[in-house]
Structure 1
Amino acid sequence: MSESFGKPVVVITGASSGIGRATALRFAKSGAALMLAARGQDGLDSVAAECAELGAETETRSVDVTDEDAMLELAQQTVARFGRIDVWVNNAAVGVFGPIDELPTEAIRRVLDVNILGYVYGVRAVLPQLKRQGTGVIINVSSLTAPIPQPYTAPYSMSKAAVRSLSASVRSELRLGGHAGVRVCTVMPPAIDTPFFDNAANYTGRRARAMPPVYPPEKVARTILRLSRMPRREVIVGAIGSSFVQQGKLAPGMMERSMAAMVENTHLSKNEPVARTSGNLFAPSSASTSGSLHGGWDGGRKTAVRVGVGTVALLAGGVAVVRRLLR
């Protein structure tokens, strides 16, 4: 992250709540200048006020990331205001729960538009500026569902795998084009304590819950800040998530079956029925959640981590059996 022109300039989409909000606050504490984007202006105004209290120069723009012209304008307005862009964080995302054959087609399409095309438009908007500068970092927030897909979240899992592929493709193009100073990173968090689960579309009739292990959004924000300074290709947030990925490589069938059981037993409540809802797919979250950092799942964090560790131990035992059979 170049600081030769003064404060580093950071653009964050989906900045009004959850991971995006935590990332904005982390960069504000580090002395960055910020351009914060999201659909809901109320959430943007509140996070901007917090960042200003931390001493950060902050601008906001109400933007739907599926509007390519608006994303181009976001990049142009950032350069006009601050003179450059050092870090661009593609973070805005939506989710939907439900069996693939029961989901409304428009809900599937909206998840793919926001989570894939929104990132594509972000990359296309900022790349020309970073190439002109010769430096800069694009950080794409993917998910642990990219290497380990889940049932009942097919559009979301698909989209996050696509984000991972997008990063790899752009890295190769930059290398071939001689733009070594422009870096592209992918962050893959597990379940994070944000309003995401309450705001997601849900067609299962069961309340969606944060599936253990649950980490605070500040942990992802710290990872993003580190990547802006020391870029790496991919980072999985949390040791348990890394263990899941390793288990999946060694015993993919076992991991698939275990993930299905975990989602069925911990991700979707069996005793909290809810009405079908499109959540925040087509409109910003309500004022009560549009500016929320956390989702209220942290109260069970210790239990969640214990469950996660137990699951890893169970998977590790199964993989040990597989290894013995392969000898």
Structure 2
Amino acid sequence: MSRVVVIVGASSGVGRATARAFAERGDRLVLAARATTTLAEVRAECADADVLTVPTDVTEPGALEALAGAAIDHFGGVDVWVHTAAVMAYGRFDELPGRVFDQVVRTDLLGTADSVRVALRHFRAAGAGTIVLTGSLLGHVTAPYMSAYVTSKWGLQGLARTVQQELRDSPRIRLCLVNPGSVDTPVYQQAANYLGRVGRPPPPVTSPQRVARAIVNCVDRPRREVSVGRLNVVLRAGFTVLPGVYDMLVGPLMRVAGLSGRPVAAQDGSVFTPNPAGEAVRGGHLPDLRQLVFGPLGAVGAALRRRLG
């Protein structure tokens, strides 16, 4: 039996990959994001599914309640609520404009909190439902030059744990938190930047499709928290057990692995306004394995056809 799945942040990265994953299962989708044009593209990618798109800015008062209302009006209810919407900003804390810091926290933490609040209201009325939130390894450790994002993800970690405790009297309502490490999405290039160098995900980098699979699995087999990333456990242990060593190494490692050599002028990125041209599933930080395998095979096939033809 197909489920009604709301995906907030469906226009890019993990959210877009998640929309495709649920569509392949035959679930009915309600896709929400700021950019109307990109939502239309994602809807086309999920052509085999029954899809409703609802342009939504999570920082706008009442927007998420309106999203829930649209989903219920169209499909009669909601079974799963997935929240992946996030923005990012680079810069030393004292050099990052306060308005940018506040908007990142407003989007990544307060927007998520509002999403949970709205979903819980409807799930409590229905008596059941699953909420899946995307946190981050940076909800357990810290990294310089990303203060707004780190603050948001630490806050989200606390919010998720608290709500899970409060749901102990409602066993049919589940809240799951998926915490990926570095993921190959466009969020790094789309970030506000007051550091002068374009950011990138430090290795090892995982694919958004892998995170999407973890989200789908949480709906099938709910878990309180899921970590996606080979080094997540190691980094969390180092942060906790050897804080002095961690703090000594994280700055140089961030400058080498977490920042590219490409210069960038001070700018707000997509923090306040979406950039549809920059939205995609992948960010180009991880090779497309299908292209690596089938690209050379295709070239060989073309060469053989030319020789034989």
Q: TM-score, normalised by structure 1?
A: 0.85
**Does residue 27 of the first structure (1) align with residue 22 of the second (2)?**
yes
The 1:154–1:67 alpha-carbon spacing in structure 2 relative to 1, beyond 3 Å, is same
- In the alignment, the residues of structure 1 paired with residue 210 and residue 106 of structure 2 have an alpha-carbon distance, to the nearest angstrom, of 27
Q: CA deviation at 1:46?
A: 0.5
Contact 2:182 2:229 in 1 (8 A): no
Contact in 1 for aligned 2:199/2:258 (Cα 8 Å)? yes
**2: distance between equivalents of 1:256 and 1:26?**
38
2:207 counterpart of 1:219: no
Specify the alignment match of 1:152 in structure 2. 145
- The answer for the alignment partner of 2:95 in structure 1 is 102
Q: Which amino acid aligns with 1:40?
A: A
User: Residue in 2 aligned with 1:120?
Assistant: 113
C-alpha RMSD over aligned residues: 1.4
Residue aligning to 1:162: 155
Distance in 2 separating the partners of 1:284 and 1:207: 18
Does the residue aligned with 2:174 lie in a helix, a strand or coil? strand
Alpha-carbon separation, structure 1, partners of 2:185 and 2:133: 18
- 1-structure distance, mates of 2:26, 2:150: 34
**Selected match of 1:36 from 31, 39, 46:** 31
In structure 2, C-alpha distance between the alignment counterparts of 1:157 and 1:66, rounded to whole Å: 18
Task: Provide the rounded CA distance (Å) in 1 between the counterparts of 2:91 and 2:72.
Answer: 41
Instruction: Find the residue that maps to 1:145 and give its secondary structure.
Output: helix
**Equivalent AA in structure 1 for residue 166 of structure 2:** E
Q: Distance in 2 between matches of 1:20 and 1:136?
A: 19
Does residue 13 in structure 1 map to residue 8 in structure 2? yes
- How much has 1:147 moved relative to structure 2? 0.4
Q: Distance in 1 between matches of 2:233 and 2:19?
A: 25
Q: Is the 8 A contact 2:208 2:282 kept in 1?
A: yes
* Structure 1 residue 169 displacement after superposition: 1.0
The range that moved more, 126-135 or 111-120, is 126-135
Deviations 1:164-187 (A, max 9, x none): 111111111122xx2111011111
Match of 1:323 in 2: none
How many angstroms apart in 2 are the aligned matches of 1:246 and 1:235?
16
- Report what 1:304 is aligned to: none
Using the size of structure 2 for normalisation, the TM-score is: 0.90
Identity of aligned residues (%): 39
Tell me how far apart the structure 2 counterparts of residues 255 and 134 of structure 1 sit (CA, whole Å): 44
One-letter identity of the residue aligned with 1:279: G
Counterpart amino acid of 2:176? C
| CA–CA distance in structure 1, aligned partners of residues 31 and 189 of structure 2 | 23
- Distance in structure 2 (CA, Å) of the matches to 1:182 and 1:251: 37
CA distance in 2, matches of 1:289, 1:122: 25
Equivalent pairs counted in the alignment come to 289
Question: Any gaps of 5 or more consecutive residues in structure 1?
Answer: 1-5, 302-327
Indicate the residue corresponding to 1:273 in structure 2.
Answer: 263
**1:300, distance to aligned residue in structure 2 (A):** 9.7
Whether 2:202 is the aligned partner of 1:246: answer no
Q: CA deviation at 1:262?
A: 1.5
- Contact kept, 8 Å, 1:187 with 1:237, in 2: the verdict is yes
Unaligned runs of 5+ residues in structure 2 are 290-309
Give deviations 1:111-137, integer Å, cap 9, x for gaps: 010011101110111112111222111
Counterparts of residues 83-98 of structure 1 (less than 5 Å):
83-98=76-91
> How many angstroms does 1:239 deviate by?
2.3
Structure 1 position 229 matched with structure 2 position 217? no
Read off the aligned partner of 1:86 and give its amino acid letter: D
- The AA in structure 2 aligned to 1:295 is G
Q: Who is 1:284 aligned against?
A: 274
- Rounded to whole Å, the distance in 2 between the matches of 1:137 and 1:300 is 31
C-alpha distance in 2, partners of 1:249/1:236?
A: 17
Q: Distance in 1 between matches of 2:189 and 2:24?
A: 29
The letter for the 2-side match of 1:72 is: E
Counterpart of 1:310 in structure 2 is none
Deviation at 1:248, TM superposition (A): 2.6
Contact 1:148 1:256 in 2 (8 A): no
Match of 1:75, SS state, is helix
Any idea what SS the aligned residue of 2:94 has?
coil
Per-residue CA distance 1:232-275 (angstroms, 9 max, x = gap):
11111022222222333332332233322211211123x42211
Offset, 1:153: 0.2
